[in-house]
Amino acid sequence: MYRFLVRRILGAAMILLIISALTFFLFFAIPRDPAAFACGKLCTPETLEIVRRNLGIDEPVFLQYWHWLVGIFTGRDFTYGHCDAPCLGYSFVNQEPIFQALVDRFPTTLSLTFGAAVVFLLFGIGMGMIAAARQGRPADKIASSASLIGASMQIYFVGVLATWVLVDQLQIIERPSYTPLTENPLQWFYGLLLPWLVLSIIFTANYTRMTRSSMVEQLGEDYVRTARAKGMSARTVFLRFAWRGAMGPVITIFGVDLGVLLGGAIITEQTFSLHGIGELSIKAVINQDLPMLLGVILVAATAIVLFNIVVDAAYAFIDPRVRLS
Amino acid sequence: MRYPRKRAVTAVATLVAGALALSACAQGGGGGPKTTNAAPTRTQDAQAASKVKVGTAEDSKGPAAAEPGATKGGTVNMIDRDDFTHLDPARIWLNYYMTASKLFTRQLTEYKLAQDGSLTLVGDLATDAGTTEDGGKTWKFTLKDNIKWQDGSPITTADIKHSFERIYADFTPEGPPYAEEWLLPEGKKYKGPYDGEHLDTVEAVDDKTIVFHLNSPHPDFNFTVAMTGYGAVPKKHDTKEKYDKMPFSSGPYKIVSHVTDKSMDLERNEHWDPATDAIRNAYPDKWHMEFGVQALQSTDRFIADNGADKQTLTFHNPVATERIQQVVGDPELMKRTVQGLTPFTTFYNINNSRVKDVKVRQALISAFPMQQVRQLQGGELGIGKFASTIISPTVLGHEPFDLYGQQTKPQGDPEKAKKLLAEAGQPNPTIVYAYNQTPTQEKVTVAIKTGLEKAGFKVVTKPLNPATYYDAIGKLDNPYDVYWSGWATDWPTGSTAITLTYDGRKIAAQQPNYSHFNDPDVNAAIDKASAIVDPAEAGKAWAALDKMIMEKAPIIPEFYQSYFGLYGSGLGGVKFHPVTGEQYPNDVYVKQ
């Protein structure tokens, strides 16, 4: 277990390093000068030079990347002040250290992700199991059709529609907002309820379909037949044997989904005006804010890599045939 | 003035800046929905907009004229798409930031907005709109009594001098360039006051009198200093780069919290004295601002009008294109709208370095299918009114004219264009049209190509990457004949509409004379108009110059862009401001 974790963490660090380098150098490959963006409509070469210096992009790209890397461990000084370690750079658009911006935004994304995950896992796995247990019956058909409809939906459509109906017209749900859990748990719950539900509609569909097909496959396996032949009840076979075997693919997808959502549910956050990592990333792209872009990409990559490790570890607990070696 | 660059780029890309005009002079009509008979509460019509005058010392005295029915108290909410990237006045050249700054930053002069939308330039921190006795080269302003910073200390001429000196600092490159250029003695290099060096051209005669010695006459310098970019910054509390995060208030409110991209809260500045302020009513006790709300979301919230959204407005978000029909079809909603012409005009530059024959340029204007172009972008309600002049109706002295039938035949007049081309001896000239490669512009380009080809032009289309569009058209040797751009006047006189964009002596790479228009007669006329001190007379001269330039056809005027916005039912006094082209905060009150 220990060796597994060390090996995976080192691998993850290497992946993050490669991603940061790729992002950094690709950013400078685009034809637009980020300084021109902030230079105004009468941008003279002199002004452009000042803006470049202020943005910290007047040095060679390799040197800029080196300074960025070193800053993570030692902190950095900018024209606009000091950035403590771990310094992921300074956003000259937001005028704040990147790490601080990410720390400020992360609780919103975390709350959105985990709240939605609880809902879509419960409903998705539950509906998938019911559909598998009632193969070919009305419950299966309803669950399959509902998941097909859910999978066809888009957040920007369902979100706007749900807000209009439930918030604006019926006024039975509060307008989405984020209140820290520690500040007011009830307000935290009410403020995120609608985004959780909408996000869940889209994700539940995948989990229903995945759980159903996995369960159907497992129910046809030899070991399940053996268990039945030994006289175990259908309930025990279903919940104790088939279910454990079916969860492998579901957990794999869940790990990836969780990583992606933690890296920023861009459309969901935009649709509901939530100020999370997703909103930050879209602004970084629009504003050509390289330090911020690097920051959000690293958060997303870290989340995906981290949850891949967690998923790999979780396999061992679910399926005894898997060993962490 | 800069319009939000992102939004300007979006305007290039989609030409839908969410700007609308609902008045009933649609020439040829657009493709937009029909308007209801219900009038919006605040229509700033073109006639009123062009009524700009310079006020007297009496006009500059506070308190501001009361808003009928207004009461003090409550909290006004503001929702908009973006946060304010800059709050340091010296770094502000964007209309959206200017609107917010009206709540906590004061300048030497400001505009008084009348109920009919007309503007009077008055003294804000100064007792009047400034005086000049040498044709605009030397300007004198006297500060009012009892004007204070948020800590209760007096605002002095030393602060004003400091405010103008710090615009030269390296950390303030984003502000307007005018005073920076005009106050710098020839051959001098200056980097701001922080190393102890000061500018003799900004003379604090005593605690109350400040004199500006410009390096050339600028009779409308008193309009220039009304820009937020020349707002007051306290010498004692100037935190240089950090000032941008938390400016020190000279206005009726002070910032109590600002969470980047999320929210900003303002409370009353108890040291602001309404008796010193002829412009700001400051009715609400607090302002709560929330960012990250897209135009569609804000429109839906205003339509739903629930809870705290009743006391909510937006500075910049227009009515979303998807909801225009619903809003204009609902008389109740229309009562909660503001609309008017912004200072932003759009046009197609004709590259005068390549298309040298004036007859060919005139033929381009005559043949241009503007109606089809507008129809593809939401019609009059979606984009604005047809333009036929350089100077917008929002500018002092604007004179309407229509030399090429753009108002009467907006669909284009290919027959007239053919005649002009025949006179030029070029019946089938080839025109390279460069455009921003977006889905909307792809469609618009087809309409333009079709329209021009009806008149005999051979049109070669060149798609440009939206990210590098301005870089490409800003090159002096660019290989294109026609390309789009826009311009917003920084203050409502003709000089900012014309001098930077049509003075041939200012042609340079990446500068706003994108058409490379250089006519000695026009250059001379610009000098002449620039020297006229009387604003009304200057207005007439700029209007005459507008016509003189358009006779030489350097551009194809496109639209006078307009704004159409909604707000909550619990607010009163919400108006449109013709200088910023947005909703105006100073007279807003919470209905009790």
pLDDT tens for each residue of B149-159: 999 999 999 99
Interface test with A, best of B261, B506, B513, B569 (most A CBs within 10 A): B261
Secondary structure element (H or E) that encloses residue B341, with its range: strand B337-350
Average pLDDT over residues A211-228: 88
Model confidence at A83, pLDDT cuts 50, 70, 90, reads confident
Q: For domain A98-318, which architecture applies?
A: Orthogonal Bundle (1.10)
Query: In 3-state terms, what secondary structure has residue B420?
Result: helix
Is the Cβ pair B500, A51 closer than 8 Å?
no
B45-80 burial string, b = 16+ CB within 10 Å, else e?
Answer: bbebbbebbbbeeebbbbebeebeebeeebbbbbbb
Sheet holding B109-113, edge to edge: B52-54, B119-123, B109-113
Residues B149 and B315: beta-carbon distance below 8 Å = no
Residue in chain A closest to B241 (alpha carbons) equals A80
Give the pLDDT score at A53: 75
Tell if the CB–CB gap between A279 and B292 is shorter than 8 Å.
yes
Q: In chain A, whose CA is at the least distance from the CA of B81? A: A273
DSSP designation for B281: -
Dihedral over alpha carbons B172, B174, B175, B177 (to 10 degrees): 100
- Distance, CA of B585 to CA of B568 (rounded, Å): 14
Asked whether the beta carbons of residue B306 and residue A30 sit closer than 8 angstroms, the reply is no
Percentage of the residues of chain A whose pLDDT score is greater than 90:
24
Do you know the residue count of chain B?
592
Domains of chain B with CATH codes? 88-251 (3.40.190.10), 341-562 (3.10.105.10)
CA distance A16 to chain B (A): 27
Answer yes or no: is pLDDT of B11 > 70: no
Longest dimension (CA), chain B: 72
Least confident of B14-28, B126-140, B165-179, B183-197: B14-28
Q: How much is the pLDDT for A224?
A: 86
Tokens linked to B376:
């593809």
Alpha carbon distances (Å) from B453 to B107, B415, B456, B463, B508: 52, 12, 5, 18, 32
Coil vs helix vs strand at A138: helix
pLDDT score for A322: 63
Chain A: closest CA distance from residue B194 (Å):
15
Contact B171 A79 (CB under 8 A): yes
Query: With an 8 Å Cβ cutoff, are A164 and B304 in contact?
Result: yes
Q: Please report the pLDDT score of residue A39 as a whole number.
A: 64
Cross-chain Cβ contact B471/A32 below 8 Å = yes
Measure in Å the smallest separation between the Cα of A162 and chain B Cα atoms: 12
Within 8 A of B85 by CB-CB distance, chain A residues are 93-95
Q: Is the Cβ pair A168, B306 closer than 8 Å?
A: yes
- Span B399-423, mean pLDDT? 96
Compute φ and ψ for A261, nearest 5 degrees: -65, -40
CB contact under 8 A, A273 and B292: yes
What is the pLDDT, as a whole number, of residue A242?
Answer: 85
In chain A, which residues have their Cβ closer than 8 Å to the Cβ of B260? 94-96, 101
Residues of A in contact with B465 (CB under 8 A): 31
Q: Does B308 reach chain A within 8 Å, measured CB to CB? A: no
- pLDDT band per the 50, 70, 90 thresholds, residue A37: low
The model's pLDDT over B547-569, given as tens digits with 9 standing for 90+, comes to: 999 999 999 999 999 899 999 99
Most A CBs within 10 A among B93, B170, B309, B310, hence the mutation to make, goes to B170
Q: Is B463 on the interface with A (CB under 8 A)?
A: no
Alpha-carbon gap, residue A262 to A260, rounded angstroms? 6
CA A289 to CA B337: how far, in whole Å? 35
User: Which residue in A has a C-alpha nearest to residue B488's C-alpha?
Assistant: A41
Locate tokens 């990250």: which residue? B292
Detail the DSSP E strand segments found in B351-465. Answer: 384-386, 430-436, 458-464
- Point out the residue among B93, B297, B301 whose CB comes nearest to the CB of A40: B93
B59 in Cβ contact with B278 (< 8 Å)? yes
Nearest-Å Rg of the Cα atoms of chain B is 24
Residue of B nearest to A164 (CA): B300
- Based on the number of CB atoms within 10 Å of its own CB, is B266 exposed (0-12), middle (13-18) or buried (19 or more)? buried
Q: Which residue of A has its CA nearest to B466?
A: A32
pTM confidence score = 0.83
Average pLDDT over residues B388-413: 94
Q: How far apart are CA B566 and CA B582, in angstroms?
A: 11
Mean pLDDT of B451-463: 96
Q: Would you state the pLDDT for residue B32?
A: 36
CB pairs under 8 A between A and B: 90
* pLDDT given at position A240: 79
CA gap B449, B253 in Å, rounded: 53
Task: Report pLDDT digits (tens) over A283-304.
Answer: 888 777 878 888 898 888 888 8
pLDDT of the residue at B437? 87
**pLDDT of res. A32:** 64
Region B93-107: what's the mean pLDDT? 95
Residue B170 to residue A54, Cβ atoms within 8 A:
yes
How many residues belong to chain A? 325
Tell me the shortest Cα–Cα distance from B293 to chain A, in angstroms.
6
| Mean per-residue pLDDT, B494-511 | 88
Between CA A318 and CA A244 the distance in angstroms is 6
Residue B170 pLDDT > 90: no
Is the pLDDT at A193 greater than 70, yes or no? yes
Give me the residue spans of the domains in chain A.
2-83, 98-318
Closest residue in B to A159 (Cα) is B297
Q: What pLDDT band is residue B14 in, cutting at 50, 70 and 90? A: very low
Give me the torsion for CA of B164, A287, B19, B93, rounded to 10°.
0
From chain A, the residues in CB contact with B93 under 8 A are 40-41
Q: Do A42 and B512 touch (CB under 8 A)?
A: yes
Which is more confidently placed, B49 or A61?
A: A61
Query: Region B387-411: what's the mean pLDDT?
Result: 94
Q: Answer for the pair B498, B391: CB distance below 8 angstroms, yes or no.
A: yes
A81 chain-B contacts, CB cut-off 8 A = 241-242
Residue B132 sits at φ, ψ, to 5 deg, of -140, 140
> What are the pLDDT digits (tens) for B23-67?
222 222 333 333 444 555 555 554 454 588 999 999 999 999 999
CB contact under 8 A, B241 and A80: yes
Strand A96-97 to A90-91 pairing: antiparallel
What is the secondary structure of A82-124 as a DSSP string?
A: EE-SS---EETTTTEEHHHHHHHHHHHHHHHHHHHHHHHHHHH
pLDDT at B484: 96
Q: Which two tokens stand for residue B445?
A: 């380009």
How much is the pLDDT for B119?
Answer: 93
* Residue range A105-158, pLDDT digits in tens: 999 999 999 999 999 999 999 999 999 888 888 888 888 888 888 878 888 889
Binning pLDDT at 50, 70 and 90, where does residue A41 land? low
What the block records as the tokens of B266 is 């303002």
Q: pLDDT averaged over chain B? A: 89
- Cβ <8 Å between B306 and A273: no
Select from B169, B171, B183, B81 the least CA-distant residue to B139. B183
B111, B579 contact by CB (below 8 A): yes
Beta bridge mates, B583: B576
Contact across the interface for B296 and A160, Cβ inside 8 Å: yes
* CB proximity under 8 Å: B 270-299 to A: 290, 292-294, 296-297
Residues of B whose CB is below 8 A from A280: 261
Share of chain B above pLDDT 90, in %: 74
Residue B331 CB coordination number (10 Å): 11
Nearest neighbour of A273 by CB, restricted to B260, B297, B500: B297
Q: What is the pLDDT of residue B165?
A: 97
Residues of chain B contacting residue A47, judged by C-beta atoms under 8 Å apart: 173
Instruction: With beta carbons less than 8 A apart as the criterion, state whether B557 and B410 touch.
Output: no
Q: Does the CB of B465 have a partner CB in chain A at under 8 Å?
A: yes
| Nearest Cβ partner for B261 among A80, A171, A275 | A275
Q: Do A273 and B294 touch (CB under 8 A)?
A: yes
Average pLDDT (A180-195) is: 94
Are B259 and A104 a contacting pair at CB < 8 A? yes
